Structures are given as C-alpha cells and as structure tokens.
Amino acid sequence: LKVTEEKFVLHTLAGCTEYKSLLDVVVNAFYAEDGRYCLIPERNLYLVICYLATFQLEELGFQRFSRIVKSLDTAKMQKFLRFFFNNLHLNTWIKDEWSHFYDSLYVKENLIDPLLRWQPKVQQLIEQLTNKLNNCATTVKASKVTQPKEFNLTVPKPRAIPPPLPEHLPVLEKRRPVPPSTYKPPKEIKQLEEIKEKNFQKASVSHTASAKVVGLIPAGATHELDLMILAGPFKLRIFCENSGQAARLFETKLFLENLNIDNIPIKLNTAAILREGALYQRKMEEELKRVENLEQGFGDPSEFLEWQKQMRGKDLEEQLAEIECRRLQGKLSHEEAVLARQNVIQENKKKADLLREEKAELMHQHAEKRLQEQKEMKELAEQVMEGHKNVKQVKTKLQEYKQQIAQQVSEESGELLRQALKEEEEKAKKRYELIQQIRALESIPGIRHKFVDLTETGGHGLFCEMSIVELRERLALLKEAQKAAEEEKRDQIIHEKQAKEQLILEKLDQISQFRAELGRAAALKQEEKKLKSQSGERPMKDERILNLQRKIVEKKMERKKQAGLL
C-alpha cells in the first residue's frame, strides 16, 4: 500500500477497536431485524462502514465515501445504509443506546446531528443503489439452446451362424416327489402332549376334591389351589398365608404328606448329593456340640444373641444418622460453593473491565510499533540494493577459485584409480589360485560305501551312548512296564468307583432323614413366628442433623438474596 492508504487503514482499524461498543449496538440490531439472512463473517464489513459514516464522513468527503460503498456489494450496502440512516432509528433507540456509553449531550451534538445533516445525500446514494439493483434484475441473459449431436457408435460385427440343433434331445428322468411326512411333526410328540394334558387334568381334579373334603380352603379358590399344589409345597404354604388360612397350617402339612409331594423322586448328580450330605453333616456336628456344651453347664446363648441384635440395631441407627449428616454436609457445602461462585463472577466482571482498558492501550502501542518496523524495513531494503551491485565481482573471483580446486582434485583422483586397479589385479590372481586348489581336491575319488554294524555305538564320546540293538531291548522293557502300570491303575479305578457308589448311597439315606426332620422343624418354627409380634420404635433425629438442616435453610436464603442483587 501507499503511505496515505496505509495511514487510512491503520486509522480505521484503531477507530473500530476504540468505538467497538457503539458500533456493536447498530450492527447487532441490523442482524436482528433487516440482516437476518446476512452472513456472520460479513460483520466486520458493516462495522467499518458504520465507523466511516459516523466518525470519518467529514474528513473523507461524501464522494470518497460513496466510491467505497459502490465498490462493495450493492444489495448489502443498500440494505445496511437504509437501516442505519433511518430518521426514526437515529432519534430513538440508537441515541438512547449510545447515551449509555457517552453523555447524552455529546451524543446528540457530535454523533446524531452530523448523521442527520448527511441524511439527504445518503438517501440519494441509497436510491442510486436501488436503481442499480433494479436494472441488474431486469437484464437477463438469453440462454443458449442445446443442439443435439449424433452418438459416435461403433459398427457391430456380423453375427456368426449358430450350429444346427441335434435331432433328438436327451430327456431327464422324473424325480421322486418329496414325501408329505417331511413337513409334518411325528406322531409321538402329539401322543406325549395328549398324555400330559390328561395327567394334568386328573391331578388337578383329585387334589381339589380332596382339599374340599378336608375343608382347608373355600370353594372359590379351587383353581388357585390347583396351580399351587402342582407348583410345590412352598408356594402352597404362601397361598395359605395370603388367603388367611394360617391357623390351619398344620392340617395343610398333613394333607401334603398324604399327597406325597415331598417324596417325589428327584434325580441328583454326584456333586449335589455330596454337597447336601456335607451340609447336613456339618449341621449335625454343630447340634451335637451345642448339646455337649449344655450338658457341661454352659448357658443358653439366646440372651447374648438378643443383646447382640440390639447392639447391632443401635450401630445401624448411628450409621444411618452419620450418613444423613454427611448428606446434609454435602448439601451445605454445595450452597457455600454457589455463594463463592457468585462472588467470583463479580470479581471476574471487574477484571474484564480492566482487561478491556489494557487491550485498547496495547492496540495503540502495536500500531505505533508497526509504523516503526516498516520504516526499518525500508532502510534495510535500500542497504540490500547497494549490496547487489558488488555481487558480480565476488562471483568472478569465486569461479576462478573453484576451477583451481577442480584441477587439483582431478589429478589426485587419477593416482587413486591407478592404485585401486593394481590392488584388484592382485586379489583376482589370489582368488584364481585358490579356485584351482579346490577343484584339484574335488577331483580326488573318495570311499562312498559305508558298512553299518548295529551292535556298535556312535563313538561320539558320551556316557549315554548305546547301540541300536541295546536301544530296541530297552524300548521293549519299557513297553512291558507301561502295560503293567496301566492294568494296576485300571484295578485301582474300579475299586475307587465302587467305594464312591457306596458312599453316595449312604449319603442319600442321610439326606432323606435330614429332610424329613427339617420339614417338621420348619413347620413348628413357622407357627412360633406367627405368634410373635414385631414392634419397633421410630428413631429420633440426631441434633447434628437438625443443626445442619437449619444451616442449609439459612444458606439458601442468603444465596437467594445474593442472586437478587446480581
């Protein structure tokens, strides 16, 4: 750029940054109303035009200003100038918004009145731009009509004459049709389903009839009892409790024993049998140990267990109170954090104002620095131009020096080549003599046939050497020993299997006995539980919880007051 243009650009940039708050008011309103469909990257364009029209129109003159406007997009400039130089806009909201930043008297005399004086000429410029847009809209270029052209297709080759068809064509044999049984399920599945339905109906009818005879359930609950009986004794017990038949639980148990539901055979694997047997064995040992302790004079641990239960309840209440305290403390810390955040926002606003002032000063200093750097660059360019004049003399001297060095290098390289050739000739002679010696050794005939003795060793000098005959004998002995070990292992496995089967049978007998005893004990225990009444006191709230709740209410009130002030 020229010096005058450069000064104008820098002055415009500094003014846009200095009066950015005033310019943003107009440009933001333009984007909100008339410029809703304008692009965001064009924002700086409108800022510059607004600055030139407000602060530089007197210095520039209207002709230069109109030249700048006409060099830009006509539609955009026409829309923005019509919005900005509107008499109603200038006297109402633009004046009020700019009065927030500067004194109202200064805004009226130095900003609004000059714009109103230039309004008639700017209105003429807007009309010129409007006429230009209308002329551009009327002139439409005539579109060219597409002329069709023939395709440049290749000429097809003549087709070959097909060979004659045979007189008798071979006919394939007809395939067998697919049998209809492939798409039908087998008869056995249908028969099994019918048998299952019949057995289910017979069982439900017999169970409901017997229950009505005994008088355990009302007549309206027969369908539910059918389902519960088939589901098992546990669900039948739950059904009796829910329907208010707890008083007749013992009669229901006798009815189940008569139905032999507990004695239904269930197939168990070995692991399940051993696991259940170990469980019952452990329970029996614990019961025997308790009886021995009672015989020796030890007290009944029920009182200790009751005390332990109470202490655990107290510990649980304390833990719940501690958890509630922690929750309330977290809530209190949250309220304090919100208050601290509001204070930080106020401090940040103050810091932002200071940073804006510092930024304006830095921009001014940066513009001055750029001017100084450009002056230094011009001086440096002048020095470089003077240095180019002495380059030719230096080039001639450098070329002569390179020629001298090239002659010396060519002489030295010739001597080195001669020495390398001599060394290569000597190496080739030595290689040729060595090849002749190897060929002479290969031409001597050697013994090719070798006799093998299976009783001799390899002769490698190792302690574990043996002949092939000895190796075969040792392998035969190892095979015999392996067969004997396998037979012994097989006998041992059979004996272990028989012992394991005997153990499983004994465990099954023990399990059946334990199940019967546990069923009786469970029925008695259930009756005892029904007789006991459960009573619990409502836990009192801790003083710490009440204090924390009161503090949280106070912090909330303080936060709401602070938010109202903000």
> Per-residue pLDDT tens for 294-312?
777 766 666 778 888 889 9
Give residue 142's pLDDT: 63
pLDDT at 255 over 70: no
Overall average pLDDT of the 268-277 stretch: 83
Give residue 214's pLDDT: 40
Q: Which position has the higher pLDDT, 255 or 550?
A: 550
Return the closest-CA partner of residue 321 out of 540, 523, 10, 498.
540
Q: Which position has the higher pLDDT, 159 or 265?
A: 159
Q: Helix 74-84 to helix 20-32 angle, to the nearest 10 degrees? A: 110
Give residue 386's pLDDT: 73
- pLDDT tens profile 358-372: 888 888 888 888 888
- Rounded Cα distance between 217 and 253, Å, is 13
Sign of the alpha-carbon dihedral angle for 348, 354, 358, 363:
positive
How high does pLDDT run on average in the chain? Answer: 79
Q: How many other CB atoms sit within 10 Å of the CB of residue 239? A: 19
Q: How many other CB atoms sit within 10 Å of the CB of residue 85? A: 20
Residue type, 104: S
In angstroms, the first-to-last Cα distance of the chain is 50
pLDDT at 482 over 90: yes
CB 261 within 8 A of CB 232: yes
Q: Kindly report the backbone phi and psi dihedral angles of residue 216, in degrees, each rounded to the nearest multiple of 5, phi listed first.
A: -85, -35
- Rounded Cα distance between 489 and 520, Å, is 47
Q: Which position has the higher pLDDT, 276 or 295?
A: 276
Residue type, 83: F
pLDDT at 32 over 80: yes
Residue type, 451: F
Poorest-pLDDT segment among 143-147, 213-217, 411-415:
213-217
Q: How confident is the model at residue 493 (pLDDT cuts 50, 70, 90)?
A: very high
- Tell me the helix, strand and coil percentages in the chain, rounded to 5: 80, 0, 20
**Region of 244 on the Ramachandran plot (φ > 0 left; ψ -120 to 50 alpha; else beta):** left
CB 467 within 8 A of CB 457: yes
Sign of the alpha-carbon dihedral angle for 152, 158, 160, 161:
positive
Poorest-pLDDT segment among 23-32, 362-371, 378-387:
378-387
pTM, two decimals, is 0.29
- Rounded Cα distance between 494 and 163, Å, is 80
Q: How confident is the model at residue 512 (pLDDT cuts 50, 70, 90)?
A: confident
Both tokens of 371, joined, read 């001017």
**For residue 531, how far is the Cα from the chain centroid?**
56
pLDDT above 70 coverage of the chain, percent: 81
